[in-house]
Amino acid sequence: MKILLAEDDPKSAEYIRNGLIEQGFAVDWVTDGREALTHCLYNEVDLAIVDRMMPGMDGLSVVKALRVSKSDLPVIFLTALSDVDDRVEGLMAGGDDYMTKPFHFSELMARITALSRRPKQASQHTSLKVHDLELDLLSRTAIRQGQVIDLLNKEFALLQLLMEAPGRVISRTMILEKVWDFTFDPGTTVVETHISKLRQKVDKPFDVALIQTVRNMGYTIRAPR
């Protein structure tokens, strides 16, 4: 899971960033509101943690601009502005949650987990394509170079998860949550085993490998450059 942290106080940012990284998240940190907005609009982000008071553009304006652009990116305000009116203003601007400083990191983690479990809007796509690999979501069929690839249910779900965001790194934790509905690490190699089986079916018979391992981060599928 990739998180954007928009926080202009270095000490707070270091504390939050280090804590999130220890929990297995990939974290990008920006200190300017305009930079935060640009990053969210043009990069792969799963969740944003935004301070209200930042140079360039305040956090409230950042979230309003995201919502105007039709972005449904989950946003947690994390700020020193703690009055009821401030909370209401933040939520009305499009924030999904609102936390005030000082805070307990365990509570922040609980709120991140709760937001990550919210169902996203159903995709309107009935098929996915990466390079010469096509996935028909209605017939649940995978085809590459005219050849039908026989996939088991979990293999299909894993391949669909990767193909829904080509080029984006999907962490092992995210795969366990989305494909197996695990909210904990079962301590097995189930993800690695299924990735290996997918490669045997999707990549090995063909000239170009599409499924890639990103060391210490997860897996991605991408077309050759």
pLDDT in tens, 27-67: 999 999 999 999 998 888 999 999 999 999 999 999 999 98
Q: Is the pLDDT of residue 123 over 70?
A: no
Q: How far apart are CA 155 and CA 186, in angstroms?
A: 18
CB 1 within 8 A of CB 174: yes
> What pLDDT does 124 receive?
52
- Using the 8-state DSSP alphabet, how is residue 145 labeled? T
Q: Is the pLDDT of residue 203 over 90?
A: yes
Q: How far apart are CA 14 and CA 137, in angstroms?
A: 42
CB 15 within 8 A of CB 21: no
**Tens digit of each residue's pLDDT (9 = 90 or more) over 83-100:** 999 999 999 999 999 999
Q: Please give the domain boundaries of the chain with CATH numbers for all domains.
A: 2-116 (3.40.50.2300), 127-221 (1.10.10.10)
For residue 204, the Cα-to-chain-centroid distance in whole angstroms is 28
